[in-house]
Structure 1
Amino acid sequence: MGMTGFMDNDMYGRADEAEAIATIHRSFELGGNFLDTADMYGPFLNERLVGKAIQGQRDRYIVATKFGWEIDDAGKLTWAINGKKDYVRKSVERSLKNLNTDYIDLYYLHRLDKSTPIEETVEAMSALVKEGKVKYIGLSEVSSATIRKAHAVHPVTAVQSEYSLFERSIEEAGVNGTLHELGIGLVAYSPLGRGFLSGQFRKPDDLPENDFRRGMPRYQGEQFQKNLELLQAIEQMAADKGIASTQLAIAWTIAKGSLPIPGTKRVKYLEQNIAATSITLTRDDLAKLESIIPLGTETGNAYDDFGMQLID
């Protein structure tokens, strides 16, 4: 997501296409061949970037993209969620074109359309699998009840949710247990707490002026300071182990059974992130980390009120 701007927002700072593509290619060299995008990033710009980066090497990558945030024919977000059958069809054809491919490995519903039965949406996604346009289907930010309903219509391969040391609400809600029971993978987005766990932000004003994180409760006022204290304890543990705090955070998400997708647009951070896959945490390490931020710790909402209402 950070590799392209989003509407009038630079998201995680200004990106550079050449550097972004070089980062994707370096990821592949190091064994990272899973690329996770969405039609709303841009809109469309991110999918086109991925398509350009993998040109001539399509079969060497696993490409995931998402739909559901309604985008009109002018390429503008309507800010509604659309999971209706005809929109599923419209979205996949558009994504295939933007990605310059004839199939998508993993196709997610980005957010639940609460006005459309999940069974209808998944039935339409299932049809895409039968046609060979999609290999596997996924959901994002959904409850255990929704997962079970969807899985009964067509096997769900993956669920993507925000999951990190700073965001464990899906554990509290029992989603992790449901996924384990049904044999569904968890793709953890923002495993670095949207960059907070990198330690580069020590006060709210450290965020770029046009950065969307400024609107998140987690990055504001007293909550920011409380989170900073938690971060400092994590940084100390990482220093004691001779690794970066980001690597410790990524290793934790892997140890918890998820596939983390730490977004970056620069090669140096990409290399550091992938190196974290070789870090093994003991039970004692996990217990120590989770004693710093126990389950249920208040770290602030991940989104503003509008965004929170869209999480199932």
Structure 2
Amino acid sequence: MVKVNDQEIGAVGYGLMGFTWRPDPTPFEVAFPAMRKSLELGANAWNGGEFYGTPDNNSMHLLNAYFTKYPEDAEKVQLCIKGASVYGRMQPDGSPQNVRRSIDECLKLLDGKKKIDLFECARVDHNTPYEQSLNTIAEYVKAGKVGGISLSEVSAATIRKAAKLHKIAAVEVEFSLMATDIMENGIAEACHEHNIPIFAYSPLCRGFLTSGWKKPEDVRPERLRIFPRFTGDAFYQNVKLRDEVERIAHDKAATIPQVALGWILAVSGKNGLPVIIPIPGATTAERVEENMKPAQLTDGDIKAINAILSKVTVAGTRYPEFGMSHTNG
């Protein structure tokens, strides 16, 4: 077990995005069994967002309904919420007034049924001094309304700057077999320096490693088709990585997702890396069970995977151009 903000959490967390941030939101009665199963199996670090869905159906509505039905689970979960975007739009607004609006709205929708253990601005707003955004969250921490501060999609320089201002409980960044940037751009190093764990979002490459996609037209949901890694020649280049990992999975009698998650856990806390907690999402209890049985990889397996990563270059950026402009802030 790992401690984040003085609360023990499992080696694998749970991402809520897939339930509400899709063209056909998952009905609560379908989502609840997956959420319960994740908690039963030890994935008690839950990650949601004010913008995961619509103003009328997002993570907060789902969580309110869940903890209304299962109030006994509220204290078992460490809940991290992302917000501070322009309301109803995917555009960062870290101004003090919008950070307050965002936190207040999330607290209102949770209706006292669950505390926000960690709150983070989803992206850095370059129009607002970052210390103002952090100081505003800190006001809520001091008032006991939020448990702590986490960061999201920030650069190594921002991590170091933030750590001088406030206690930073976690940093959320994309990390997977297809997104190893943090190992080269200083982000992992900065987190290690300040003993800050990383929440690794999209550890299964937005479904790329769980799917049977054979061509770009297969990508679901369709909005992912504008992501450069899932388009044109880049898609077919990246399938090579999936095929190579599949060979290792076959030899381990495991699935590709189990190998992908096993790799993250195997490198976590080693060779100068901080503790890394993958937060895969799943919409069924069966998929949760699969994710909570990561492959146990040997040193030889890790060496083989590292050789694959050196041999197969991932093509395309993590987001379209607009999205990339708001990463590593």
The farther-off stretch of 24-33 and 218-227 is: 24-33
Distance 1:295 1:119 in 2: 41
Partner of 2:91, secondary structure, is strand
Match status 1:118 vs 2:130: yes
Aligned ranges for residues 103-182 of structure 1 at < 5 Å? 103-182=115-194
Q: Number of paired residues?
A: 299
8 Å CA contact 2:201–2:278 kept in 1: the answer is yes
Distance 1:256 1:50 in 2: 32
Partner of 1:112, secondary structure, is coil
Task: Specify the alignment match of 1:66 in structure 2.
Answer: 82
Match status 1:245 vs 2:256: yes
Task: Specify the alignment match of 1:4 in structure 2.
Answer: 20
Q: 2:48 aligns with which of 27, 33, 37?
A: 37
Distance 2:43 2:59 in 1: 18
Task: Specify the alignment match of 2:316 in structure 1.
Answer: 300
Partner of 1:152, secondary structure, is helix
The structure 1 segments of at least 4 consecutive aligned residues displaced by more than 6 Å after TM superposition are: none
Any stretches of 5+ residues in structure 1 without a counterpart? none
Letter in 2 for 1:179: C
Partner of 1:37, secondary structure, is strand
Letter in 2 for 1:60: K
Partner of 1:83, secondary structure, is coil
8 Å CA contact 1:187–1:259 kept in 2: the answer is yes
Distance 1:301 1:3 in 2: 25
CA distance 1:296–1:163, change in 2 (3 Å): farther
The farther-off stretch of 259-268 and 14-23 is: 14-23
Q: Once superposed, what is the RMSD of the aligned Cα atoms?
A: 1.7
Distance 1:284 1:177 in 2: 25
8 Å CA contact 1:199–1:231 kept in 2: the answer is no
Task: Specify the alignment match of 2:4 in structure 1.
Answer: none
8 Å CA contact 1:164–1:191 kept in 2: the answer is yes
Partner of 1:281, secondary structure, is coil
The farther-off stretch of 246-255 and 44-53 is: 44-53
CA distance 1:142–1:21, change in 2 (3 Å): same
8 Å CA contact 2:151–2:172 kept in 1: the answer is yes
TM normalised by structure 1 equals 0.91
Distance 1:298 1:32 in 2: 29
Task: Specify the alignment match of 1:90 in structure 2.
Answer: 101
The farther-off stretch of 249-258 and 41-50 is: 41-50
Q: 2:289 aligns with which of 253, 267, 271?
A: 271
Task: Specify the alignment match of 2:203 in structure 1.
Answer: 191
8 Å CA contact 1:54–1:61 kept in 2: the answer is no
Match status 1:221 vs 2:232: yes
Distance 2:170 2:21 in 1: 26
Aligned ranges for residues 10-29 of structure 1 at < 5 Å? 10=24, 15-29=26-40
Distance 2:54 2:194 in 1: 33
Tell me how far 1:174 sits from its aligned partner.
Answer: 1.2
Distance 1:183 1:284 in 2: 28
Task: Specify the alignment match of 2:59 in structure 1.
Answer: 46
Distance 1:295 1:38 in 2: 36
Distance 2:45 2:65 in 1: 15
Describe the superposition over 1:96-126 as per-residue Cα deviations: whole angstroms up to 9, x where unpaired.
Answer: 1222336311111100011111111111111
TM normalised by structure 2 equals 0.87
8 Å CA contact 2:182–2:188 kept in 1: the answer is yes
8 Å CA contact 2:95–2:128 kept in 1: the answer is yes
Distance 1:260 1:172 in 2: 18
Distance 1:116 1:202 in 2: 43
Letter in 1 for 2:231: Q
Tell me how far 1:296 sits from its aligned partner.
Answer: 9.1
Distance 1:188 1:82 in 2: 23
Describe the superposition over 1:100-159 as per-residue Cα deviations: whole angstroms up to 9, x where unpaired.
Answer: 336311111100011111111111111111111111111111001111111111011111
